[in-house]
């Protein structure tokens, strides 16, 4: 088969996924997607994209396998511990200094996978603010395109191996133990959990959140092609508060978007909201969600609701939160 024919077969497969299953894989780096398909086809002993397309059409459950293969959703608590230390000791205090008394603190964990990232920031905020202030002020939106991963995230239940990176003091304080099927599980504390809204959201298609103080999007953008990355960065700019921060993964950078963010710390990949968007950039924000036939997993109310909640405006008094800030020592012992 010629290279062109091979490409045409692959395009037909991508087209079916996009048009019939509302799963647009053209936003990802092509080589990565090809590698993932080959991996899955090898598992099924299928040799051509056309045969795989037939298989996909005849086995609806295959879509779930495919999405598990394509959307790598590995995550862990305090992933890149040093960077979380920097967030705790430098960025959160900055966010609090810029806030008025009792003003809400909004965080968005975009591409949260099975929830570890959202719970990590929740633990840090609860440690810094104290649980009362955390409950009063913090709202965390945690979103992902992968519904299976979100299911685990919502349950907030992890095995021994998954919590291995959490310091024993924090583990005892923020998790309840459950013993089941001869295995020890750790369930995130109810108080911490109830300030986190998990929702289905496609970064490349759905409307962004708004008024976010800290936007965490780690190890997601590396999979997106450069055009999609650019439009996602524009959405992130829109999502952030004037004094907001963006926290990327340790291997990620702001391809072609340096002008709309300013660098705060290169090692930890932390950026502040920069220059205003141009009209052209604004146009990139318009959501392109298509609701089509035969959607296997889509639950549109989920994404609509999470955006509505995120859009709610805040109105608080003018007093800055000096007292609280004074309680935060220059280096917070977070038992990291
Ligand atoms: C490697 S995980 C990263 C998890 C977590 N942020 C971390 O660093 O530990 C990448 C996640 O991005 C999600 N993802 C991929 N494409 C996405 C998209 N277009 N919109 C939202 N999430 C996406 C995947 O489903 C997966 O859960």
pLDDT tens readout for residues 236-250: 999 999 999 999 999
Which atom of ligand 1 is nearest the CA belonging to 228?
A: 19
Residue nearest atom 3 of ligand 1, based on CA coordinates? 219
Ligand 1 pocket member 219 (CB < 6 A):
yes
Looking only at the bridges linking them, the beta strands covering 270-273 and 196-200 are unpaired
Pocket flag, ligand 1, residue 207 (CB < 6 Å): no
Ligand 1 nearest-atom number relative to CA 202: 20
Q: What is the pLDDT of residue 286?
A: 66
Q: What one-character DSSP code corresponds to residue 221?
A: G
Query: What's the distance, Cα to Cα, between the start and end of the chain in Å?
Result: 55
Q: Which of 17, 111, 199 to mutate to test the pocket of ligand 1 (most atoms within 8 A of CB)?
A: 111
Q: Report pLDDT for 276.
A: 74
What's the CA-to-centroid distance between 87 and ligand 1, angstroms?
20
Judged against a pLDDT cut of 50, whether residue 170 lies above it is answered with: yes
Q: Ligand 1: which atom is nearest the Cα of residue 109?
A: 6
Residue 120 has pLDDT above 90, yes or no: yes
For residue 73 and ligand 1, the question of a CB distance below 6 A is answered with yes
Whether the CB of 79 sits within 6 Å of ligand 1: yes
Which ranges constitute the DSSP H helices of the chain? 3-21, 30-44, 49-58, 62-70, 81-86, 92-97, 116-129, 131-137, 147-155, 168-174, 190-193, 226-239, 279-283, 300-311, 322-326
**Own/partner pairs for 63-70, CB < 8 Å, 24+ apart?**
63/21, 63/23, 63/296, 63/297, 64/148, 64/296, 64/297, 65/40, 66/40, 67/23, 67/146, 67/148, 67/297, 68/146, 68/148, 69/36, 69/37, 69/39, 69/40, 70/25, 70/28, 70/33, 70/36
What pLDDT band is residue 11 in, cutting at 50, 70 and 90?
Answer: very high
Find the 73 Cα to ligand 1 centroid distance in Å: 6
For the CA of 146, the nearest atom of ligand 1: 25
Given a cut of 90, whether residue 19 has pLDDT beyond it is yes
pLDDT band (50, 70, 90) for residue 322: very low
Distance 2 CA to ligand 1 centre (A): 34
pLDDT-derived band at 325, boundaries 50, 70, 90 = very low
Q: What is the mean pLDDT of the chain?
A: 86
pLDDT at 103 over 50: yes
pLDDT digits (tens, 9 = 90+) for 296-320: 344 444 555 665 555 443 333 333 2
Query: pLDDT tens, 209-228?
Result: 999 999 999 999 999 999 99
Closest ligand 1 atom to Cα of 216: 6
CA–CA gap between residue 186 and residue 143 (Å, rounded): 22
Answer whether residue 188 shows pLDDT above 90.
yes
Model pLDDT, residue 109: 98
pLDDT higher than 50, residue 97: yes
Q: What is d(CA 84, CA 81) in angstroms, rounded to the nearest whole number?
A: 5
Nearest-atom number in ligand 1 for the CA of 224 is 16
What local confidence, expressed as pLDDT, does residue 302 receive? 55
Better-predicted residue by pLDDT, 278 or 334: 278
DSSP classification of residue 91: I
Handedness of CA 293, 298, 302, 307 (dihedral sign): negative
Residue 333, both tokens = 């012992």
Each domain of the chain, given as residue ranges in start order, spans 3-70, 81-309
Above 90 in pLDDT, residue 69?
no
- Report pTM: 0.86
Residue 283 reports pLDDT greater than 70: yes
- Is residue 123 within 6 Å of ligand 1 at its C-beta? no
Q: Which residues of 70-82 are buried (b: 16+ CB within 10 A; e: fewer)?
A: bbebebbbbbbee
pLDDT at 281: 74
| Cα 219 to middle of ligand 1, angstroms | 7
- Cα 101 to averaged position of ligand 1 atoms, centre (Å): 34
**Alpha-carbon separation of residue 139 from 120, 129, 184, 218, 334 (angstroms):** 14, 13, 29, 19, 20
* pLDDT at 106 exceeding the cut of 60: yes
Q: Is 60 exceeded by the pLDDT of residue 292?
A: no
Confidence bin at 335 (pLDDT 50/70/90) = low
Which of the four CATH numbers 3.10.20.600, 3.40.50.1370, 3.40.50.150, 3.40.1360.10 does domain 81-309 have?
Answer: 3.40.50.150
**Residues 103, 332: Cα–Cα separation, whole Å:** 21
């Amino acid at each position: 088969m010629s290279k062109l024919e091979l490409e045409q077969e692959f395009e037909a497969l991508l087209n079916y996924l996009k048009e019939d299953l509302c799963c647009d894989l053209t936003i990802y780096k092509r080589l990565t997607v090809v590698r993932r398909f080959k991996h899955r086809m090898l598992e099924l002993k299928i040799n051509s994209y056309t045969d795989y397309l037939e298989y996909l059409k005849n086995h609806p459950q295959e879509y779930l396998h495919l999405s598990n293969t394509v959307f790598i959703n590995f995550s862990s608590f305090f992933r890149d511990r040093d960077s979380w230390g920097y967030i705790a000791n430098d960025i959160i205090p900055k966010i609090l200094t810029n806030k008025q008394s009792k003003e809400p603190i909004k965080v968005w964990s975009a591409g949260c996978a099975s929830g570890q990232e959202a719970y990590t920031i929740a633990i840090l905020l609860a440690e810094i603010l104290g649980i009362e202030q955390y409950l009063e002020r913090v709202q965390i939106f945690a979103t992902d395109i992968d519904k299976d991963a979100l299911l685990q995230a919502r349950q907030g239940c992890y095995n021994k191996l998954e919590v291995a990176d959490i310091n024993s003091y924090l583990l005892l304080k923020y998790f309840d133990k459950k013993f089941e099927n001869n295995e020890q599980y750790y369930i995130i504390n109810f108080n911490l959990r109830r300030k986190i809204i998990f929702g289905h959201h496609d970064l490349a298609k759905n409307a962004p959140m708004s008024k976010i103080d800290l936007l965490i999007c780690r190890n997601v953008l590396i999979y997106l092609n450069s055009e999609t990355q650019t439009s996602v960065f524009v959405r992130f700019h829109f999502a952030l508060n004037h004094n907001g921060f963006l926290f990327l993964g340790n291997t990620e950078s702001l391809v072609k978007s340096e002008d709309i963010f300013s660098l705060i710390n290169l090692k930890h990949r932390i950026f502040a909201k920069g220059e205003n968007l141009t009209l052209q950039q604004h146009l990139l924000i318009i959501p392109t969600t298509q609701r089509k036939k035969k959607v296997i997993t889509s639950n549109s109310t989920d994404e609509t609701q999470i955006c509505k909640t995120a859009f709610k405006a805040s109105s608080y008094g003018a007093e800055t939160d000096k007292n609280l800030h004074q309680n935060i020592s220059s280096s917070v012992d977070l038992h990291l």
